[in-house]
Amino acid sequence: MGYKRISKDEYYLEIAKVVSKRSTCLRRHYGCVIVKDDIIIATGYCGNPRGEDNCCDTGVCKRAGAERYHGYENCNSVHAEQNALIATERSKLIGSTVYLACEQVIENNGKYTFEEDLNPVPCNICANMLKNAAVGRVVNKSGDIDLYGKENK
């Protein structure tokens, strides 16, 4: 038989990658899937608050030129992890697993391509929110993320 199924981590990471395709950010497309007891309890992607113009529609990035993980005070976007967290109640988050996927948006003469980031980690604000929600595990394609050191184990 030689057929080998993908692991559950790979399965949920692929779902997070598909969720990321709804992102409205001009720089990076993040997707987040929260799973508890092998059930998806929430998803989220990066985008402006409901009812506000999206960066992908206006073509304007307020963080243009900012280093990664810096300049968030200039950005209107709600992060993927934040959107997923606010979509469910804390009791369901305790001990859950968060899966993160990210694609970097590359613009070249008006044409866009996407390069997968195998090591997306939550920003400091999102990491603190995940810790406060008592999330048990955070995973990206490179493996488990230590929320306290923000490095892969």
Amino acid identity of residue 110, one-letter, is G
Catalytic member of 52, 81, 103, 151: 81
CA–CA dist 101, 114 (Å, integer): 12
Beta-sheet strands, E only, within the chain: 28-36, 39-45, 97-108, 111-117, 137-140, 143-146, 151-152
Q: Please say if 10 is a catalytic residue.
A: no
Instruction: Compute how many other C-beta atoms are within 10 angstroms of the C-beta atom of residue 32.
Output: 30
Amino acid identity of residue 30, one-letter, is Y
**88, 7 in Cβ contact below 8 A?**
no
The span from the first CA to the last CA of the chain, in angstroms, equals 33
Q: Both tokens of residue 33? A: 């899937």
Q: Parallel, antiparallel, or unpaired: how do β-strands 137-140 and 143-146 relate? A: antiparallel
Annotated catalytic sites, by residue? 81
